[in-house]
Structure 1
Amino acid sequence: MEKYIKLINGDTIPKLGMGTWFLGEKRKTREQEIDALQAGLKAGVALIDTAEMYGNGKSEQLIGEATKPFDREKLYLVSKVYPHNAGRGKISESLEQTLNCPLAQGGNLRKEMQRNPILLKLAEKHGITLMQLLLAFVLQNEHMIAIPRSGKKEHVLENAAVQEVTLSEEDLEALNKAYPVPGTKMPLDIV
């Protein structure tokens, strides 16, 4: 499986990242979250996704602390800005503040996937969890990156291990058949 995706400008970024939505918001889980991010960085997951709206900057502060012992020149930070900061002069200011400073959770999709015999069979075939199978499916697409939430060390390490999984064409066909691209607009269910 390719570990990097090439951008239009020729630069490359890792296909697997660590998401930080809700990280840094609870004092009691702070050390666990820092440990998780550092474990991911040690496992070679060098892309971290954040946003100024994640805990009103607390996620970004947590990332700053977690990445302190690492060579930051080798890390990739993905961020988003509030809509009110999307104007010409505000984006740079918002990004400066950022620099200084989700798998199935909604709807019924998760429950359905946990009972789907095709998914269960494929996960068993590869000796991986259901969530690892779904992550491998996304990462195998040459035009996609995946940024699963990364608040627990064991999940980050499971996610990093997926980079060594290769799904066959037959596996991909089975997954595409089980979950075809929708023909109409529909609400997004977070996986």
Structure 2
Amino acid sequence: MKTVTINNQVVPAIGIGTWHMGDDPAIEKQEINAIRAGLNAGAKVIDTAEMYGSGAVETLVGKAIQGYDRDHLYLISKVLPNNIAKTIEDHLDDSLKRLGTDYVDLYLYHWRGGAPLIETVTELERMQIKGKIKAWGVSNFDIDDMTELWDLPIGNKVAANEDLYNLGSRGIEYSLLGWQTDHNVPMIAYSPVGNADSLGANMTGNANVLKVAAAHNATAYQIILAWAIHRPQVLAIPKTAQPEHMTDNVAAMDITLSKAELALLDVAFPAPTRKLPLDIL
């Protein structure tokens, strides 16, 4: 099983994403069962945010984790840029209440807003000092943002960066991913199998992906996930509301792709040869 180390905690390299969950009350029980299926299969990380469903998804996660040992979970949430200055603690407290816990393991600055970066990380650090978060990080940061952050007095305390990354969206490999590897800043890959769009269908229907999947007696989704975590210190957080699919997602951690298979996937979805704009959903 592949693992990632974040803030000195070792976690499985595939976690549970929750974006777009909680939209339909009719399937709440199914979504809760999906999250639990992931945890029961060996996942520990659950990624959510105050923005998701305006707090509804954090509430959903809170229901799903009832009865689980909190020490065996790794909860990630995110704060909106406008909620950093002065009100961050109130918004964090609201998130903690919805999640039913007194701390989150990793609290991310959801995307960069207009406030000076030093003020933002100072507030995040304050929450860590108070014990309401175990670590802080960022999301949707590109190479220039990360280098600026690193140069701040406490910037090197950043525990992770979460960006869009999958086989069909490899722009961060040109400079950002290598920089984070060199500086030991883990990458959290959101939308690691794409969305329900043409890109996702393009990946799952690709002949090379299907060839590799057949060799492993796996699904196309599992191969795409195995690819997403084949580099060190990359954590993927796929989302699904289907318990069976969630179990399959977690099982992808046990798939090791050969050099020949990685090369075959590179042919279908080449690595970037120049700096590209950061992909953001």
The whole-number CA distance in structure 1 between the counterparts of 2:82 and 2:256 is 42
Q: CA deviation at 1:81?
A: 1.1
Q: Kindly report which structure 2 residues correspond to 1:139-178, keeping only aligned pairs within 5 A, or say none.
A: 139-178=229-268
Task: For 1:52 and 1:66, locate their aligned partners in 2 and report how far apart those are by CA, in whole Å.
Answer: 16
Distance 1:123 1:20, change over 3 A: same
Counting only pairs closer than 5 Å after superposition, residues 56-135 of structure 1 correspond to structure 2 as 56-87=54-85, 89-101=86-98, 102=191, 103-105=193-195, 108-135=198-225
Superposed CA offset, 1:12-62 (max 9, x none): 233111011121221101000011111111111111000001111110111
- Tell me how far 1:108 sits from its aligned partner: 2.9
| SS in structure 2 at match of 1:77 | strand
Q: Structure 2 stretches of 5 or more lacking a match?
A: 99-190
The Cα shift of 1:132 comes to: 0.7
Partner letter of residue 43 of structure 1?
A
Taking a change above 3 Å as real, the CA distance of residues 106 and 189 of structure 1, as seen in their structure-2 partners, is: farther
Calculate the aligned-residue CA RMSD, in Å: 2.0
Q: Residues 62 and 131 (structure 1 numbering): CA distance in 2 closer, same or farther, change over 3 Å? A: same
Per the alignment, do residues 108 and 19 of structure 1 end up closer, same or farther by CA in structure 2, a change over 3 Å counting? same
Which residue is 2:124 aligned to?
none
Q: Mean alpha-carbon deviation: is it higher for 107-116 or for 40-49?
A: 107-116
Deviation at 1:11, TM superposition (A): 2.9
| Residue 55, structure 1, aligned to residue 145, structure 2 | no
Which stretch shows the higher mean deviation, 157-166 or 170-179?
A: 170-179
Match of 2:276 in 1: 185
Identify the structure with bigger relative contact order (alpha carbons < 8 Å, sequence gap 6+): 1
TM-score (norm 1): 0.88
Query: Cα deviation per residue 1:73-113 (whole Å; 9 max; x = unaligned)?
Result: 210011111111123x4333322221210333265322322
What TM-score comes out, normalization by structure 2 length?
Answer: 0.62
Superposition deviation, residue 116 in structure 1: 2.1
For 1:23 and 1:108, how far apart are their aligned partners in 2?
Answer: 21
TM-superposed CA distance for 1:162, in Å, is 0.8
CA contact 1:106–1:189 (8 Å) conserved in 2: no
SS of the residue 1:38 aligns to? helix
1:84 and 1:162 mapped to 2: Cα distance? 37
Structure 1 residue identity aligned to 2:276: K
Identity %: 37
Q: CA deviation at 1:184?
A: 3.6
Residue 123 of structure 1 aligns to a residue whose secondary structure is helix
Distance (whole Å) between structure 2 residues aligned to residue 111 and residue 189 of structure 1: 18
Aligned length: 187
In the alignment, the residues of structure 1 paired with residue 30 and residue 205 of structure 2 have an alpha-carbon distance, to the nearest angstrom, of 30
CA distance in 1, matches of 2:280, 2:212: 22
* Partners of 1:21 and 1:149 within 8 A in 2: yes
